[in-house]
Structure formats: C-alpha cells, structure tokens
Amino acid sequence: MTTTDLLPAPPPHAAARRALLAGSAGNLVEWYEFGVYGCFATVIAANFFTAQGGSATDASAEGPGGGAEALVATYASFALAFFFRPVGALLFGRIGDRFGRRTVLVLVIGLMTLATTLIGLLPSRADIGAAAPWLLTFLRVVQGLSAGGEFGGAVSVMVECAPPGRRGLYGAWQSFTVALGLLAGAATAAALATVLPAAPLYAWGWRIPFLLALPLGLVALWLRTALEEPPGAPPPTPGTAATAATAATAATAATAATAGSAKSAGTATAATAPAGTATAREQVRAVGLGIGRIMGWSAAGYTFLVVLPSHLQSALGASFRDALLATTLVNIGFAASILPAGLLSDRVGRRPVMLGGALGVAVSAVPLLHVLQSPGASPQARAAAVLVAGALVGLLAGPGPAMLAEMFPRRVRCTGLGISYALANAVFSGCAGLFVTALTARTGSTAVPALYAATACALSAPALLTLRTDDHREPLR
C-alpha cells in the first residue's frame, strides 16, 4: 500500500461548496471587525486612550494624552491581539486536528462574535475611567485567541474539500472573504462618516459597525453547525479499538510528511535520524519556512489595507473621509486579484504567482506612496496607485492559504499552518500599525509604511524561491 492509498477521496462538488461557504463565512466576520478597528483607530484612541476621552479634537491633539500617544496605544492594543493569535492557533489547532474541523470552527466564530459585540457596548474612558482601555484590551485578546484558531480550521476545511486541481482557488476564498470583510468594514465606516457629523460619530456612531457583527456572526455560526467533516476523520482518542490502526497510519503519514517537508524546502532528512525526532524537526522547520514565505504578505497586507487610513490622516493630513475612500479602493484592488491569483497558481504553480507579488511590492511600494502624497497627482492617479497596491497584495494572498496547507500532513495541518500564519501576522502585521506610527513620529518620514512593506517582501522572496514548481500537483498528505 502506498501513502496515496491512505488518502481519502475528495468530496462531491456540492459538499465541497457547502464546506467552502461555511469555512469562509467566519473569515468575513473576523476581518470585517479588524477593518472597522483599523478605520476607527483615531476614534477609538479618543474614546479609550486619552485622558479627556471622546472628542474629535482629542484624536488629533498633541502633547500628553493627545493624538500621537493615544494612537500608539490603540495600535499597541491592536498588536497585543495578534500576539495571542499563536496561542489560539496552538490551542484551537490541536482541537481541530484531534476532534474535527467543525468543532473548532464553531468555537472560534462564537468567541469572535461575542467579543466584537461587547466592544460595541463597552463604556468609554469618559464613562468608567482607566478601566475602559483595559477592558478593550481584554476583548482584543479574546479576539486574538479566536482568530488564531480561525485560519487553521477554515483553510484546512477549504483545501481538504477542494476538487482535484482547485486547491489554490478554494484556499483563495479564505483571502477573498478577508478582503470582503475589510472592504465591508471600510465601506461601513465611510458611510457613517458621510451621514454623521464628527461629534455624534465620535460619541456613539463608531459603535454601530461593531454591533453589526452580531447578526453576521449568528449566520456564520448556523452555517458551521451544519458543516460536514472533510474526508479523513481525526484520529480516535487513545484507548479505542482503532488506536493501533491509527498509529500505523500516523507513522506512515509522518514518514511521508518528513520527506515532503524536506523536498519542499530543498533539503533531505538524515537517514540515521529517529523517525519521531526527524518528523518534529521537519515540522518546526516547515513552520519557520512558512513564516518566511508569508512575511511579505503579512506586512504589505496590513500596511496597505489596515494601517493606511490613520497614516493618511496623521502623517499626510488627509481628511477622515478621504482616507476611508483610499482604503476602500485599495481593498477593491486586493479583492479583485485574489481569486484569479489562486486559480492561476493551480495552473502555473504557487511560486511564480507569489514571487511576482512579493517583488512587485518591493519595487513599487515607495513610488506608489509618492503618488499618494504628491500635491500635483490627479485623483485618478491616486486611485490607480491604491488599486495597484491592493492587487499586488492579492497576488500573495490568493495562493498563500493553499501553499501553507500543502506544507503539513492532515494530522497536524490545523496546528501547523495556523501557527505559521499566526506568528507571521503577530510579528509583521500586528506590529505594523505600532511600528509605522511610532517610527513616522520619530523620524518625520512619511515613507515609512512603504519602506516597511517593501523590505518585508524583499526578505520573503528567498523563502518563496524554495517552493517547488510541482507542489500544487502533489496530493495532500
């Protein structure tokens, strides 16, 4: 019997589509909230991280308790949630690998919906004093834990249920729903900024988008409770009659995983190494390699899609409305390129598509930002610049989920790809707003966001070069 004989047959197309819908629904809710938080960073700073609490002028004030310090504190809370993502990836990843994908997906969407709704109900600092920012930070931690488990479970479901030759496209739906969530968050914020004056927007209007997550989350929860498990049931718990057979299957899969990870990285496992030790070592190496491959995606994605609105306001003097319009356009460019990039990677491979996106950001990030801050640039040129920036990130985000899923065997896939993604995002995404805001204030350079994204993508390119040209054709382990 060969390793591929142990692999389950792909599900029927109808079941695959249902799994795709259930897996992607939670991503939309999660990233809608993150988009809203990024768009309302200056408003949240005024309500929770300033001593005065809750006026429009506080968000732009200078000096103690003023806008710069409050905005940094807001992004510190943002980054803290990202640093809890690896914990969530490990915790919920193990649940997903051991007890099934549906179990973990139901748990994480419930936690995310609850925490997001509570943020919309949270009293401001003007109401309850210094407890307000601490409560907000606690809810962000809960979101970080649930988001850490979301990616691994959702991508595993999508990729494992994909029809033959469509893993890139199905995995790309994870990123596409991220784009839809960010776009919905930016559009909701822009609509509120249009219909509400500044005073009511800062006082209570900002709560509306957070409260809208409740009905969205309930729909996603309903879809996930009806989800069927992907082919290949999780291993039974110790002590059951099937334990021996499961152990034999796991040993075969571990051997294949070791060889596959080594092949993907362009290395070979020493023949004399014990099987268990080699497998653990290769899995750790696979996580590190996965981080290297997606660090550019993480940094560029958050710099362009989440950090951009507050940077345009604080560093370039753009109005709140204009900054949200730019964010909406960059998310449109991002969303438009994701599914074509995933489909293209199923035909030509993950490496050329993702490498093209990384090198594109590395070369063009600074010129694109120059267009945005040039007084002589036309509105059309600025719109084109943000659309191109978003499209380049989409070239990374489209094939990325399938690429990560293909690096790990099924028995550790939720955990392995979830930790890789969570660690990359904790370092290169969660810190993006904090790093860009603080460094821009220290140096006075408005090019910091572009340099940050370009550097991360340039450093990611060597790791992407280790991808094999035929990885997308190999069966999942």
Rounded CA-CA distance 358/428 in Å is 14
User: For residue range 444-454, what is the model confidence (pLDDT) as tens digits?
Assistant: 888 888 899 99
Distance, in Å, from the CA atom of 290 to the CA atom of 355, rounded to the nearest integer, reads: 14
The domain made up of 11-227+279-472 has a fold known as Growth Hormone; Chain: A; (1.20.1250)
Residue 271 has pLDDT above 60, yes or no: no
Residues 6 or more apart from 59 whose CB is under 8 A from it? 42, 43, 45, 46, 50, 67, 70, 71, 202
* Element spanning 437, H or E: helix 432-443
If you write DSSP's letter for every residue of 87-119 in order, what string do you get? HHHHHHHHHHHHH-HHHHHHHHHHHHHHHHHHH
Are 351 and 464 in contact by the 8 Å Cβ rule? The answer is yes
The two tokens of residue 300 are: 């560029």
Q: Which residue has the tokens 């490990």?
A: 90
Residue 58, pLDDT > 60, answer no
User: Above 90 in pLDDT, residue 247?
Assistant: no
Q: Are 124 and 48 contacting, i.e. CB atoms less than 8 angstroms apart?
A: yes
**pTM of the entire structure?**
0.76
- For tokens 């005024």, the residue is 46
Question: Token pair of 15, please?
Answer: 């079941």
pLDDT band for position 183 (cuts 50, 70, 90): confident
The whole-chain average pLDDT of the chain stands at 79
pLDDT computed for residue 61 by the predictor: 42
Residue 407 confidence (pLDDT): 92
- Count CB neighbours of 7 within 10 A: 16
Residue keyed to tokens 């909230």: 33
Rounded-to-integer distance, Cα 421 and Cα 408, Å: 13
Q: Which token pair is 95?
A: 């649940």
At 381-396, the pLDDT tens digits run 888 988 999 999 999 9
Domain ranges across the chain? 11-227+279-472
- The SS3 of residue 315 is coil
